[in-house]
Chain A
Amino acid sequence: MTDSTYWWKLAGKAFGVGVLLFLIAPIIAIIPLSFNTSSILTYPLEGFSLKWYAKFFADPRWWTAIKNSLIVGVATVGIATPLGTLAALGLSMTGFRGKSFIIAGFMSPMVVPTVITAVGIYFLFSRLGLANSLSGLVLAHTALAAPFVVITVSASLSQLDRVLLRASASLGAGGLTTFWRVTMPLIMPGIVSGAIFAFTTSFDEVVVAILLTGPEQRTLPRELLSGTRENLDPTVMAVATLLITLSVILLLVFTALQQRSSRLVDKDQ
């Protein structure tokens, strides 16, 4: 009996490790290739070199792409975060008419395939003269990113003890003071998580970017994609490695925030 449980446990662990490998192997495989001396993307590696990184840093095309991506990403965060936070606050209020409609509307960009959203945005923005402009891309990314902010902030709000808001009012604080001094600090982990998600949503986004940007507004994912299609060389791998590093850092920040917020919540035990 104990013997078979042992084997089942081992099998479970092995399966878990297998799934994990399946998920991260492609990502890990890229990293060594970016340091390879050979320009052909194959294993085994021929030798260690940083020349692809040098090539990347020397190429103005990449710099423009990075600059565009950062501008769009930061602007998206700047708009989607307050917008999503306010929406979550409104939605956290007890039932009002049409609440589920509004939720569905907000969440639709997450559910509808991006291509469809992208095509819709493309037709609309062409008419409005927003196609081929960074501001158009920012608006489109905001629509895609805001639902993530709504979700993370709503999660924080559901953890928020409403009695604290009453306590604040009883101490003489009006609605705005209560928001700045009580609500906001307590849902900050949710807001920051939402901002991180909003940034990565924009920073990764390629479908809308392809439809909505001209040569001037090429973003990093778009440049990466054309890089792999046209002249596949390890520079692309170097860029990918840098992006992975950035993602890992953001993920760590996110995890740290989650832990901090759960520490504040576990109060009266």
Chain B
Amino acid sequence: MAIAAASPIVRLSGVSKNYGIYKAIDRIDLDIVPGEFITFLGPSGSGKTTTLMMLAGFETPSEGAIEMDGRRIERLPAHKRNIGVVFQNYALFPHMSVRENLAFPLNVRRVPTAEIRSRVDAALAMVHLDGLAERKPVQLSGGQQQRVALARAIIFKPRLIVLDEPLGALDKNLREHLQAELKSLHRDLGTTMVFVTHDQSEALTLSDRVAVFNKGRIEQIDTPEALYERPATPFVASFIGENNMLPGNIETRNGDEVAIRFAGGGLLQARSQASCKPGDEIILSIRPENIRRASAGAGQHVSATIIDIVYLGDQRRILVEADGIGRLVFKTGAAGEKPITQGERIDIELSAGTCRVLPKQ
């Protein structure tokens, strides 16, 4: 996807939202590209919903501008924005049948009756709910209600669809099923979608790009791969996937090769594109899957004592105390490797290329 080339469908510039003296959103900048599936990921209370509600027109920014197709919309009432919204608790009209719920946005737009009928049927087919048109929302399961909500948000061909934790209330199996459906729906329709979740695996599976929210700010916006492999901040590194985070100081720097000294006296080599100079306090992040038991010869070896071993079925999760460095977690395959026991001394290998230097926050 040529993300940089396309001009944005939505642009947030310097958007803040204050509740009294509390800054729920703190100067967010964000470009949403036509056709992309972008996810807001972050812990509860990080400002995802607030940002979405400002986009949809239910909250007004305290500062900053929101543009849609180049027009300022931050004061435009919600009903004039042409943005489809899927709410967490579905928000279907309980007094209307499924058909009436879907027809609602078309009635409002004065679409002819015959056309409404065929478009409702088509939308129902799209979310695999044919035959349930005359039911009331109470007569549907949670998953079916969420499908109706989705169909209602796409039926009027909105410019943008925003979804606030739409799958949060569903059980795991159904959630995965609907994730797949949502993904294929996005492919078929090509409509831009903004999705909110606090579930990182959901974000990584679904999205073209993920914006990681923390305390009212966006920490990083990137593709799932880039976020996982090249987190820009300690928060992103620890929030997405598992990560070993080791505080230390830059001792020497030579090009992008740096040496890091830890409080315990240990020294590690790492690579860093970030601007850092000797003396800087940093966090070194290493993914558990990038740590191995050392085989003889090559690489950067560290001696460690095994503290704990957790059996996970297909893997073992090993917690070690690396001499002079600190505690690290890594994983080994359950079979085919030398058995290890608690208290044993081993050598582990941390290749410099997989150690990431992050600024201390």
Shortest B280–chain A CB gap in Å is 47
* A70 CB-CB contact with B under 8 Å: no
CB of B104 closer than 8 Å to a CB of A: yes
Q: Which of B87-95, B312-320, B339-347 contacts A (4 or more CB under 8 A)?
A: B87-95
**At the interface with chain B, which of A97-105, A168-176, A245-253?**
A168-176
Binding stretch for chain A, among B75-83, B199-207, B249-257, B303-311: B75-83
A19 contacts the other chain (CB 8 A) = no
A240-269 interface bits toward B, Cβ cutoff 8 Å, 1 = contact, 0 = none: 000000000000000000000001111110
Q: Which residue of B lies closest to A264 (CB)?
A: B94
The answer to whether B87 and A163 touch across the interface, beta carbons within 8 angstroms, is yes
Chain A's interface: helix, strand, loop or mixed, by majority?
helix
Q: Give the residues in chain B near A182, CB-CB below 8 Å.
A: 93
Smallest CB–CB gap between B132 and chain A, Å?
16
Query: Does the CB pair A169–B138 fall under 8 Å?
Result: no
| Bound complex: CA A268 to CA B144 (Å) | 12
Q: Would B95 and A171 count as touching, CB distance under 8 A?
A: no
Q: Which of B85, B92, B94, B108 interacts with A186 by CB under 8 Å?
A: B94
- The answer to whether A171 and B105 touch (CB under 8 A), given A166-B58, A267-B137, is yes
Is A185 part of the contact surface with B, judged by Cβ < 8 Å? Answer: yes
A46: Cβ under 8 A from any B Cβ: no
A166, A174, A186, A263: residue with the most chain B Cβ atoms closer than 10 Å: A166
Question: In this assembly, does B172 line the interface, its C-beta being within 8 Å of a C-beta of chain A?
Answer: no
CA distance A115 to B156 in the complex (A): 58
- Give every chain B residue within 8 A of A173 (Cβ-Cβ): 79, 104-105, 108
Could you tell me if A268 and B142 are in contact, using CB atoms closer than 8 angstroms?
A: yes
Shortest Cβ distance from B105 into chain A, in angstroms? Answer: 4
Instruction: Point out which of A170, A174, A263, A266 has the most chain B C-beta atoms below 10 A from its C-beta.
Output: A170
Q: Say yes or no for A45: interface residue by CB 8 A criterion.
A: no
Quick check: B89 and A163 within 8 Å, CB to CB?
yes
A263 to B95 CA separation, bound complex (whole angstroms)? 10
Give the distance in Å from the alpha carbon of A211 to the alpha carbon of B58 in the complex. 52
Residue picked from A264, A265, A267, most chain B C-beta under 10 Å: A267
Whether, in the assembled complex, A164 has its beta carbon less than 8 Å from a beta carbon of chain B, the answer is yes
Q: Does any Cβ of A come within 8 Å of B152's Cβ?
A: yes
How far apart sit A169 and B57, CA to CA, in the bound complex (Å)? 9
* Nearest A-chain residue to B90, judged by Cβ: A268
A216 close to chain B: CB less than 8 A: no
Interface assignment of B145: CB less than 8 Å from any CB of chain A: yes
Q: What's the minimum C-beta distance from A189 to chain B, rounded to whole angstroms?
A: 11
Residues of A within 8 A of B57 (CB): 169-170
Residue B109, interface by CB 8 Å: yes
Q: Is the CB of B142 within 8 A of A181?
A: no
**A168 contacts B95, CB within 8 Å?**
no
Total interface residues on B, CB under 8 Å, equals 32
Which residues of A sit under 8 angstroms from B95, Cβ to Cβ?
185-186, 264
Assembly CA distance A172 to B87 (angstroms): 15
Q: Is B56 an interface residue (CB 8 A)?
A: yes
- B87, A167: Cβ atoms under 8 Å? yes
Question: Any chain A CB within 8 A of the CB of B234?
Answer: no
- Complex contact B79–A167 (CB within 8 A): no
Q: Is A172 a contact of B85 with CB atoms below 8 Å?
A: no
Given A172-B109, A186-B94, are A167 and B85 neighbors across the interface (CB < 8 Å)? yes
Complex CA distance for A177 and B79, rounded to whole angstroms: 11
With a cutoff of 8 Å between Cβ atoms, the chain B residues found around residue A266 in the complex are 138
**Residue of A166, A172, A267, A268 with most partner-chain B CB within 10 A:** A172
Query: Which residues of the partner chain B approach A167 to less than 8 Å between Cβ atoms?
Result: 85, 87, 91-93
Indicate whether A171 sits within 8 Å of B83 (C-beta atoms), given known contacts A186-B95, A266-B138: no
Q: Give bound CA distance, A267 to B81, whole Å.
A: 29
Within the complex, what minimum Cβ distance (angstroms) separates B138 from chain A? 5
**Among candidates A174, A181, A186, A265, residue contacting B104 with C-beta atoms closer than 8 Å:** A181
Q: Which of B58, B137, B152 contacts A171 (CB under 8 A)? A: B152
Residues of B within 8 A of A264 (CB): 94-95, 138
- Among A161, A164, A166, A171, the residue within 8 A (CB) of B108 is A171
B114 to chain A, nearest CB (A): 20
**When chains A and B are docked, how far (Å) is the Cα of A267 from the Cα of B95?**
11
| Contacts beyond the supplied A164-B94, A268-B145: 6 A-B pairs with Cβ under 8 Å | A167-B85, A171-B152, A172-B105, A172-B109, A182-B93, A267-B137
Query: Which positions in A face B, CB cutoff 8 Å?
Result: 161, 163-164, 166-174, 177, 181-182, 185-186, 263-268
Chain B residues close to A by CB (< 8 Å): 56-58, 77-85, 87, 89-95, 104-105, 108-109, 137-138, 142, 145, 152-153, 156, 169
